[in-house]
């Protein structure tokens, strides 16, 4: 579960978050990861607490038992629409990076469709297939980040100063996006019922949270020490950082390694989001099996990625101004309301 949750939050975050946060927090962008911890903790607690109250069920099934059949179906529909829309957004972000940085002449529809096909096959294979893929791919995703340490001779730690020169408000503004993305840890609600030992769910969820926060701080510091105030002007600062790597005349041109890391990490992330979308729809409609609707939902995800986000500027606007409110509203506010209503019903 932890190996699935880690790229679920960070697969897209490593490339775009440093730019988004530095536009507000500037040289204090390294703080944003630590300040996001609180929202991640709430998400993990909400998912685990709901599972403790209603074992072997996810949030779609909890909802109908807590707020009634009609309201529960509305919540299930909200989770489905959010998950399938987010799947399309993630796929488009993945495709824009691959198309704009590597496969310049490849039609973006081909890049999107190939990833959706792979994710659909994984989701149709079941949660065990997805988990085994994460066991293989997530260590590759993490190991690739270690190559950034080869930049140590080029890093200037003085770029971190002056600390909080503009006050705490710009840092809080920069924290809005990463703390929203870290709320995606609530997707563990779809994984908890399948754990061999559900009692360890909180422990491993919190471990994923700590690993995510430390990794965000690590990447932000590397980028800050390397580029300083120029970080906010680069679309993909981590990609540029990989291109800077040159060690012993052997480790050079490692952007291909970043591409491999980007592909495997996003495969795990897209699979988790797509699984949540398909399972949400199936359980909201009380279908006996979710597998028959996997491939039709894949087509819907492709449509969301193309029609809803027609260009990169619209995608950037969505990530900066809509996602920081959309994600917490669905993945934090609704679960907390369910917990509150459940508590009030028992008084």
From first to last of its 347 residues, what are the pLDDT tens digits of the chain? 999 999 999 888 787 888 888 888 888 888 988 889 999 999 999 999 999 999 888 999 989 899 989 999 999 999 999 999 999 999 998 998 888 888 888 899 999 999 999 999 999 999 999 999 999 999 988 888 888 888 888 888 888 888 888 888 989 988 888 999 999 999 999 999 999 998 899 999 999 999 999 999 999 899 999 888 888 888 888 888 888 887 767 777 777 888 888 889 999 999 999 999 999 999 999 998 999 999 999 999 999 988 877 777 777 788 888 888 999 999 999 999 999 999 998 76
Strand partners, 251: 247
Domain range holding 282? 2-345
> Which pLDDT does position 248 carry in this prediction?
67
> Which pLDDT does position 254 carry in this prediction?
77
CA distance 160 to 224: 7
Q: Indicate the pTM of the whole model.
A: 0.93
Neighbours of 257 (CB within 10 A): 16
CATH of the domain at 181: 1.20.1740.10
- Cα distances from 237 to residues 32, 163, 195, in angstroms, run 17, 21, 37
Neighbours of 286 (CB within 10 A): 9
| Peptide linkage before 286 cis (omega within 30 of 0) | no
Count Cα atoms within 13 angstroms, Cβ side, for 90: 31
Domain count, the chain: 1
CA distance 186 to 189: 6
């Amino acid at each position: 579960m932890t190996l699935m949750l880690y790229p679920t939050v960070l697969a897209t975050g490593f490339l775009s978050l440093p730019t988004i946060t530095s536009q507000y927090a500037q040289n204090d962008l390294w703080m944003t990861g630590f300040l996001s911890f609180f929202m991640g903790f709430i998400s993990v607690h909400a998912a685990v607490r709901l599972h403790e109250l209603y074992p072997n069920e996810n949030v779609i099934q909890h909802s109908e038992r807590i707020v009634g059949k009609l309201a529960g179906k509305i919540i299930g529909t909200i989770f489905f629409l959010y998950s399938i829309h987010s799947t399309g957004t993630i796929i488009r972000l993945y495709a824009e990076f691959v198309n704009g940085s590597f496969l310049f002449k490849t039609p973006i529809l081909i890049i999107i469709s190939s990833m959706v096909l792979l994710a659909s096959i994984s989701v149709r294979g079941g949660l065990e297939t997805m988990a085994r893929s994460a066991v293989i791919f997530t260590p590759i995703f993490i190991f690739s980040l270690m190559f950034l340490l080869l930049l140590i001779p080029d890093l200037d730690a003085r770029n971190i100063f002056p600390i909080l020169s503009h006050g705490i408000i710009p840092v809080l503004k920069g924290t809005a996006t990463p703390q929203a993305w870290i709320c995606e840890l609530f997707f563990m609600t779809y994984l908890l019922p399948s754990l061999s030992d559900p009692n360890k769910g909180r422990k491993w969820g919190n471990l994923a949270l700590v690993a995510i926060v430390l990794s965000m701080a690590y990447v932000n510091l590397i980028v800050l020490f390397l580029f300083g105030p120029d970080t906010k002007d680069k679309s993909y600062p981590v990609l540029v950082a990989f291109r800077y790597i040159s060690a012993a005349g052997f480790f050079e041109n490692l952007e291909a390694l970043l591409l491999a890391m980007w592909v495997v990490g996003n495969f795990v992330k897209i699979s988790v989001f797509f699984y949540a979308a398909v399972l949400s729809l199936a359980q909201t409609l009380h279908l006996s099996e979710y597998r028959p609707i996997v491939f039709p939902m894949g087509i819907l995800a492709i449509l969301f990625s193309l029609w809803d986000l027609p260009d990169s500027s619209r995608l950037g606007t969505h990530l900066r101004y809509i996602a920081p409110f959309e994600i917490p509203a669905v993945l934090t506010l609704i679960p907390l309301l369910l917990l509150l209503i459940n508590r009030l019903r028992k008084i």
